[in-house]
Amino acid sequence: MLGLSHFVNSEALTIVANTGDDFDYLGLRVCPDIDTLVYTLSGLDNPDTGWGRAGESGSFMEAIEAFGEDTWFFLGDKDLAMHVARTRRLAAGERLSSITRDVCRRLGVAARILPMSDDPVSTVVETIESRLPFQHYFVRDRCQPVVRRFEYDGAETAAASAELLDALAVEGLRAVIVAPSNPFVSIDPILAVPGIRGALRMCRAPVVAVTPIVGGDSIKGPTAKMMRELDVEVSPVAIALHYEDFVDGFVLDTADAELTSRVKALGIDALTTNTMMDSLDDRVMLARDVLEFCDQIPRPSGGGRASR
């Protein structure tokens, strides 16, 4: 995402945000994925933590802990302003999409960030012991419980973002890129909203996914742990199979070059390149490689993916 914003005209870039992570905390509506995108593209992010704002302080959390409130989820003093403003505007009846668009404008983000839906969807992690809201599993419990399955409460009745569906159908769309994110808790919540998976299958632009698994492990986060607990092969091939019905191409890391033939056997074009993004240059080079790969894939007729 950051690499793409430095490689293409940011105003031509649309980023779909997963809102399955959103939750209410201390009376405030928190949208972690949206905020990470906004802070990263505005240059306000904290590169050391990978979340939140740079130069943050925690006076609010220290003060509210004295009143006996839970403080397992850190809200920085600067970050707090985002959640207060969002909560107030949502309570007044404004759409999350509209709020996000205005926040981007105010913080100088040229790319368009679209929530997958303006309706609430909540990712629930079913573990061997209980059902946990995603942030309780991810932050409070540090991904330690053993997972059994995932649910996306509210997805079945949520309406897909109209702007998102229009973007997938627009004439001249160059490509759709599925980021190297966790398929179960970052991508599947988006796909669970009615109409989005179908729109991807009918999209006339090439749809390409980038692997989050390299050398038998996650690039970051608990993806590999989840796959092992779900008895899924920890391999880029399993990720390609997960997306098989709507992708035209798949990007593997050079460390997994020997798996390219297995991806192609699924009827999916494959590219092998460096997917490890340790620097901005790495991100820009990966964005370049993926877009050039997309340009080489024949544009689907719209029904080709459904026949696989």
Residue 129 lies in a domain: no
Q: Are residues 103 and 190 in the same domain?
A: no
Q: Are residues 89 and 179 in the same domain?
A: no
pLDDT of residue 281: 82
Q: Are residues 219 and 301 in the same domain?
A: yes
> CATH number of the domain that 180 lies in?
3.40.50.10680
Q: Are residues 286 and 180 in the same domain?
A: yes
Q: Are residues 104 and 182 in the same domain?
A: no
Residue 273 lies in a domain: yes
Residues with Cβ within 8 Å of 147's Cβ and at least 6 positions away in sequence, in order, are: 125, 126, 127, 137, 226, 229, 230
Last residue of a domain, one of 115, 131, 150: 115
Residue 123 lies in a domain: no
Left if phi > 0, otherwise alpha if psi is -120 to 50, otherwise beta: which for 234? beta
Q: Are residues 291 and 199 in the same domain?
A: yes
> CATH number of the domain that 105 lies in?
1.10.8.240
* Over residues 261-288, mean pLDDT: 91
48 falls in which pLDDT band (50, 70, 90)? Answer: confident
Number of C-beta neighbours around residue 64 at 10 A: 14
Domain carrying residue 272: 174-307
pLDDT of residue 298: 86
Last residue of a domain, one of 78, 94, 115: 115
Evaluate if residue 253 carries a pLDDT over 90. yes
- Per residue in 90-130, pLDDT tens? 999 999 999 999 999 999 999 999 999 999 999 999 999 99
Average pLDDT across the chain, whole number: 94
186 falls in which pLDDT band (50, 70, 90)? Answer: very high
Residue 75 lies in a domain: yes
Share of the chain above pLDDT 70, in %: 95
pLDDT of residue 184: 98
The total domain count for the chain is: 2
* Over residues 57-77, mean pLDDT: 96
pLDDT of residue 299: 75
Q: Are residues 207 and 288 in the same domain?
A: yes
Share of the chain above pLDDT 90, in %: 86
- Per residue in 152-181, pLDDT tens? 999 999 999 999 999 999 999 999 999 999
